[in-house]
Amino acid sequence: MKYLDEYRDPKTTAELLAQIRRTVTKPWTIMEICGGQTHSFLRHGLDAMLPAPIELVHGPGCPVCVTPLEQIDRAAAIAARPEVIFTSFGDMLRVPGSEQDLFAVRAKGGDVRVVYSPLDALAIAGANPDKQVVFFAIGFETTAPPNAMAVLQARERGLKNFSMLVSHVRVPPAIEAILSAPSNRVQAFLAAGHVCTVMGYWEYEPLAAKFRTPIVVTGFEPVDLLRGLLAAVRQLESGRPEVENAYARLVSREGNRPAQDAIGRAFLECDRAWRGIGVIPASGWKLRDALAEFDAEKRFDVGRIAPKESPLCIAGEVLQGVKKPPECPAFGKQCTPQCPLGAPMVSAEGACAAYFRYRT
């Protein structure tokens, strides 16, 4: 298949691995920011093929994992209301809240539907004028543009029965938080190629300079991942911390201007709590005041939410790259993909799920 096979080519993969092996002279700890990259490493068995001095740690770039528990509980409370059709990307349905996940809400009679695009939620709102349709707008810079388009279209069409529960997050403040933490071990980052397709990579330049840390824009296929790693190792070995683009077939420094423009028209930067990590300043997006009528938090009064996290789960340390999933005492025991205690065990992008699926 074009655009896929050439990036999974065994010969190119072997050549890149050999180049990395020749380049590396001492141990380096490198974080892949995005959960999609974590899964790709493990799914292709690539992590085990890397030379031993390179340690990969897995970043917080899993939208399902970092959505705060409070928002999951709020989603469940809104979805349980009889007048509501609650729409969400599929992954979110199995994320454990304090008491229940959205599947459990559905089993108890809530109308919870999986959509593949926020525009599907708009269509549902159009077709069900007597219902309140709520879309769970979560994710990084990747899902923000379509979610922005959905709410802007809702305003244009004068839809009165559509709202969004917004919990967007941004990558650069998370990188800054990880590098600022006293326990940080990360010496270089593979930045998420799809996030940079939207946002470009100019935002990362001050971070690389301030923390003297290489940040390499990296794709998701084996060849892409190895190109990103090779660039990171070369920088580390030569003491040259910069932002480098190893995904140039899709990413430009400026990124996708119309997409950024849509985000700007719909959302405003805000502080955001990351599940398991805590509040990171300016790390989120919320709806602009001009769009307040589409804010599900304002439209539905669900009372006080008192989130309760599982005491066993170490998701926060896993998401910050401090610990690996198998170091968690609950990993594979109390916590499995069938019965997850923490969000990283749920998602197709969660680090714990990746280890459980491909390693145990």
Query: SS3 for 287?
Result: strand
What residue ranges bind other proteins (CB under 8 A)?
1, 4, 8-10, 13-14, 36, 42-46, 48-49, 63-64, 89-94, 114-117, 120, 123, 138-140, 142-143, 194, 222, 336-338, 347-349, 356-360
Rounded to 5°, angle at Cα 178 from 174 and 183: 160
CA of 144: how far to CAs of 55, 105, 117, 282, 288, in Å? 31, 26, 11, 15, 13
CA of 175: how far to CAs of 18, 34, 281, 289, in Å? 29, 11, 12, 28
- Is the CB of 2 or the CB of 304 nearer to other proteins? 2
Q: Are 198 and 145 in contact (CB under 8 A)?
A: yes
Residue type, 63: P
C-alpha 345/C-alpha 335 separation (Å) is: 7
- Is the CB of 183 or the CB of 338 nearer to other proteins? 338
Q: Are 252 and 200 in contact (CB under 8 A)?
A: yes
The enclosing H or E element of 113 equals strand 111-114
* Closest distance to other proteins from the beta carbon of 44 (Å): 5
- Is the CB of 143 or the CB of 163 nearer to other proteins? 143
Q: 286 forms bridges with which residues in the sheet?
A: 268
- Is the CB of 140 or the CB of 211 nearer to other proteins? 140
Sheet holding 132-139, edge to edge: 111-114, 84-88, 132-139, 162-169, 278-287, 267-274
99: number of Cβ within 10 Å:
12
* Closest distance to other proteins from the beta carbon of 82 (Å): 15
* Closest distance to other proteins from the beta carbon of 313 (Å): 17
- Is the CB of 211 or the CB of 331 nearer to other proteins? 331
Q: Are 279 and 273 in contact (CB under 8 A)?
A: yes
* Closest distance to other proteins from the beta carbon of 137 (Å): 11
- Is the CB of 119 or the CB of 181 nearer to other proteins? 119
- Is the CB of 49 or the CB of 302 nearer to other proteins? 49
C-alpha 70/C-alpha 98 separation (Å) is: 8
Residue type, 269: E
* Closest distance to other proteins from the beta carbon of 19 (Å): 15
* Closest distance to other proteins from the beta carbon of 289 (Å): 27
* Closest distance to other proteins from the beta carbon of 211 (Å): 26
* Closest distance to other proteins from the beta carbon of 249 (Å): 16
- Is the CB of 293 or the CB of 324 nearer to other proteins? 324
